[in-house]
Chain A
Amino acid sequence: MAKLNTEPNIPTPDEFYAALIAAHEGKTDTESAALNARLILLLANHIGDADVLEQALAAAQ
């Protein structure tokens, strides 16, 4: 079974985080929530593996 990677995996974490926050700039709370939902769906599709997604859902609880 594939395992959810919870070790650091983003080479430039500060850049990523800044881009993530910048993506939300000027949005209302509702728009931000919608952006987050789209983002999760895109990333989930990219991952694809059902086991990994299930572990991620559990870890996020």
Chain B
Amino acid sequence: MLDDRYSLAFELYPYRQSPDQSAARPVRHPVVVVGGGPVGLATALDLGRQRVPVLLLDDHEGVGTGSRAICFAKRTLEIASRLGCSGPMLDKGVVWNVGRVFQDDRQVFDFDLLPEDGHAHPAFINLQQPYFEKFLFEQISAEQARGAPIEIRGRNRVEAIEQHDDHARLDIATPDGDYQIEAGWVVACDGARSPLRGMLGLDFEGRVFEDNFLIADIEMTQSSFPTERWFWFDPWFKSGASTLLHKQPDNIWRVDFQIGWDIDRAEELKEENIRSRLDAMLGKGVEYRLVWSSIYTFQCRRMQRFCHNRVIFAGDAAHQVSPFGARGANSGIQDADNLGWKLGLVVKGLAPPQLLESYDTERIAAAEENILNSTRATDFITPKSKVSQTFRNAVLKLAETYPFARPLVNSGRLSVPCVYDGAALNGPDALPGGPARTRVGSACVDAPVGNGHLLEHLGDSFVLLGINVDLPDLPETAPIPLRRVVFRTSDDLSGALAARYLGTGAQAVYLIRPDQHITARWSAYDPTAVQAALMRACARE
């Protein structure tokens, strides 16, 4: 009945009977998160930190083996930092900046992600997805110990759902039989195959890329490869039409071979066949251990809408991209970041349910951007016509010599946070000469202040940030809490704070949402304007 679909890397939440299973009638929970992948865990953690009771159901008892995601972007680390757990990720993860692109046996060019100074977190780390999830889980445990109302039930599989006006009813299978609960809100984080999406009969339209990718994680203790991202088009070793090599912690390397559309899956997955591709690439006599392998086809698609009455879809359940650009888990974590504070306010009765509409529009815009970028990268990597192959090869050839062609080479545009330009919650952008990168709608850009960094001062409530402006008498914003944070340009001798937040202006006031996106900015402090923008950002006007 409750067969495992995968084996576990870490057992984290073994099945235990809950009193709900013997209750006379279904027990009502304010929020039920379905699925304990990175997105479900982050959502539960965010809500629990807000003291919103949350129940997470997963049909396994921990994190599955097999790495899948390895590249975690700066914005994801910043969100994890807000949730209290970027430390262990940074300690365990591998920081990389340099990428090299090859064609055949020639280097076409190299790039440096050039992590700009003055950020607490690097542009990227590589970390196996099971670790990422384990660190989120450990933070949940730490918050539970401090009284956060988070409950996780392992080996609880949602089998059916029924929507009502003010709740949904879930049928759940366990080793001790079935039971039912009610949920004020359901957050569906049940992955790309989302059973909930199927149960509700909802669409998931998009594009399948007709190519297979063989992915192998290997342990190599003696390796001469540097900690860089290497990407080959038409590699000389002929193990795939393209090949990607990436370093992970614990001497593990990710190798990703593009092996074509018409293949015999079972045959390709035989260890001897995987090894012959690897041997051709690494050279005879290089020793390695095959840790994990799998074959994937990739798709780019999304749901038409993410909010369906009492059920809200997030992560891979709502949208799926090819991995070129590392936009899967990274964008899913941004979904959780966007949804957490909104759902928290709605459940507490501090904002109307219409606030959740903004989750739908903002994250659909983000999904569109991610799908566009990941589609273009996949089209470049796997050209589907003779003429696009010809252009692709022309670009690669020219890029060896001429800088102009290098921006046209697309082996993945790496994940950056979406800017919610023109969003309904946005207030005025009234800072003449203000930098574009901190315009209304953007995620706050980190900057050095004193001995630390700006983002760690923002926390996870609404913040009014003054730069070279005192903010006496905050406006009356009850019941929505507003915190005041004031810095002077002299708090950052590098000048980065001024460059990133003032531009040509002398002072600025920023209103920042709990997900650290900027929702309004001004050149002077006007309490009435701040109050109006805050109410608008909560859909309370």
| Cβ distance A22 to chain B, nearest Cβ, rounded Å | 10
- Counting chain B CB atoms within 10 Å of each CB, the highest count among A7, A20, A21, A32 belongs to A21
Residue in chain A with minimal CB distance to B388:
A21
Q: Is the CB of A24 within 8 A of B404?
A: no
**A36–B406 alpha-carbon span in the complex (Å):** 21
- Assess whether B410 is in contact with A6, with CB atoms less than 8 Å apart: no
Q: How many residues of B contact A (CB 8 A)?
A: 20
Q: A17-B376, A17-B380, A59-B402 are in contact. Are A10 and B407 (CB under 8 A)?
A: yes
A6 CA / B400 CA spacing, docked (Å): 12
Q: Are A6 and B376 in contact (CB under 8 A)?
A: no
Does A48 count as interface, using CB distance less than 8 angstroms?
A: no
Interface residues of A in 2-60 (CB under 8 A from B): 5-10, 13-14, 16-18, 20-21, 24-25, 27, 29, 32, 36, 59-60
Is residue B451 contacting chain A, with contact meaning CB distance below 8 A? no
Chain B residue at minimal CB-CB distance from A16? B408
Chain B residue contacts of A8, Cβ below 8 A: 403-404, 406-407
* A13 with B387, Cβ < 8 A, contacts A21-B379, A59-B402 known: no
A18/B387 in contact, CB under 8 A: no
B379 proximity list for chain A (CB < 8 A): 18, 21
Q: B218-244 interface mask toward A, CB cutoff 8 Å, 1 = contact, 0 = none?
A: 000000000000000000000000000
Check A24 against B385 for contact (C-beta < 8 Å): yes
Please classify the interface of chain B as helix (H, G, I), strand (E, B), loop, or mixed, using the class held by over half of its residues: helix
When distances are taken between beta carbons in the complex, the residues of chain A under 8 Å from B413 are: 14
Establish whether residues B376 and A14, one from each chain, have CB atoms under 8 Å apart when the complex forms: yes
| Chain B 376-411 near chain A by CB (<8 Å), digits 1 or 0 | 100110000111100100010010011110111010
Residues of A within 8 A of B376 (CB): 14, 17-18
Q: Does B373 contact A (CB under 8 A)?
A: yes
Nearest B residue to A10 via CB reads B407
| A17 adjacent to B410 (CB under 8 Å) | yes
CA distance A25 to B413 in the complex (A): 23
**A5 neighbours in B (Cβ, 8 Å):** 404
How many angstroms from the CA of A42 to the CA of B234 in the assembled complex? 32
Closest to B413 in A: A14
A-B contact pairs, 26 of them (CB 8 A): A5-B404, A6-B403, A6-B404, A7-B404, A8-B404, A8-B407, A10-B404, A13-B407, A13-B408, A14-B376, A14-B413, A17-B376, A17-B380, A17-B410, A18-B376, A21-B379, A24-B385, A24-B387, A24-B388, A29-B386, A29-B387, A32-B386, A32-B387, A36-B387, A59-B402, A60-B398
Name 8 extra pairs, CB < 8 A, besides A6-B402, A14-B376, A18-B376: A8-B407, A10-B407, A14-B410, A17-B376, A17-B395, A24-B385, A24-B387, A27-B387
Residues of B participating in the A interface, judged by any CB pair closer than 8 Å: 373, 376, 379-380, 385-388, 391, 395, 398, 401-404, 406-408, 410, 413
Interfacial residues, chain A to chain B (CB-CB below 8 A): 5-10, 13-14, 16-18, 20-21, 24-25, 27, 29, 32, 36, 59-60
